[in-house]
Amino acid sequence: MRRLFLISVPYLWLLALFLIPFVIVLKISLSDTALAIPPYTPQLDLTTGWEGIKSFFGALDFENFVWLTEDDLYWKAYVSSLQIAVFSTLFALLVGYPIAYAMAQAPEQWRATLMMLIILPFWTSFLIRVYAWMGILSQEGLLNQFLMWLGVINEPLIILNTNKAVYIGIVYTYLPFMILPIYSALEKLDGSLLEAAEDLGCSRFTAFWLVTIPLSKNGIIAGCFLVFIPAIGEFVIPSLLGGSSTLMIGKVLWEEFFANLDWPVAAAVAVVLLLILIIPIILFQRNEQKQREAEQ
């Protein structure tokens, strides 16, 4: 009974917070828009008995998913979101790996302090940090003022309300998710392996490329998934830092739900987004499982 209880707790958690909400969203995606509360039809009425249940399921259709394939807005939003998420993940990797490597090479008494500095931004509200970047990247912001003071530029750069600002915001926000798993992998690295590679004639760069990078592969994969998965559905950062030309599926989803009140189409957009995210989530889980098996 104890084993059954321990196993049932996470499954009940997933049932309550994932499966049931997903079924509700899926049902809405198969419904039709209506001027009512809630703004979709059909509604399940159990008082009418079996006939009501049959008519309910008979009224469901896949017209909203067909509409997603016919309107260019939606597939362009998916492609744009994938592009921004992929490049943001690559930029976060390029920035995060050297930081994680420096943390792993730092004296042991400094590592806890460096770890705290990486986690410290999470102590501040996410919205406040995004609004701070609006003040930094605006034409009258700190970045332009500093560059003009140095004499690097003669007129303010236009960064805010562009895709560049979105990349900066996503990389800054999710950078700790890239650093921490890579640091965890590098911290366990046996330094004697690098010494052996150098004794066999490898230069420091060659030893780093042939030894350090492969042994930190699990951390790199975990960090990339932890950045890519939330970045593809990001809404706040492109809404505040991006301009009208910034097209991401999170913005489209919000507009369909709250601006157009088209819940069925919005639910269909959400279902397709979830199906896209299932692939990296499954790959991430398999990578974590292989890593646990390797450690055992």
For 265-295, the pLDDT digits (tens) are: 999 999 999 888 888 778 777 777 777 777 6
- For residue 167, the model assigns a pLDDT of 95
Superfamily designation of domain 72-295: MetI-like (1.10.3720.10)
Report, in this order, helix, strand and coil percent for the chain, each rounded to 5: 80, 0, 20
- For residue 123, the model assigns a pLDDT of 87
Buried/exposed code over 243-271 (b: 16+ C-beta within 10 A; e: otherwise): eeebbbbbbbbeebbeeeebbbbbbbbbb
Check whether 296 has a pLDDT greater than 70. Answer: no
Domain map (residue ranges) of the chain? 72-295
List, for residues 202-221, the tens digit of each pLDDT value: 888 888 888 889 888 889 98
List, for residues 103-126, the tens digit of each pLDDT value: 998 888 898 899 999 998 888 888
| In contact, 234 and 86? CB cutoff 8 Å | no
Categorize the per-residue pLDDT at 98 as very low, low, confident or very high, splitting at 50, 70 and 90: very high
What single-letter amino acid sits at 14?
L
Q: Is 115 left (phi over 0), alpha (psi -120 to 50) or beta?
A: alpha
Categorize the per-residue pLDDT at 136 as very low, low, confident or very high, splitting at 50, 70 and 90: very high
Longest Cα separation, the chain: 81
- For residue 295, the model assigns a pLDDT of 66
DSSP state of 122: G
Check whether 257 has a pLDDT greater than 80. Answer: yes
- Examine residue 38 and say whether the peptide bond preceding it is cis (omega within 30 degrees of 0): yes
Check whether 3 has a pLDDT greater than 70. Answer: yes
The model carries a pTM of 0.86
Residues 6+ apart with CB under 8 A from 18: none
Report the percent of the chain where pLDDT is more than 70: 99
Categorize the per-residue pLDDT at 1 as very low, low, confident or very high, splitting at 50, 70 and 90: confident
Strand partners, 65: none
List, for residues 42-81, the tens digit of each pLDDT value: 887 767 777 777 887 888 889 999 988 888 889 999 999 9
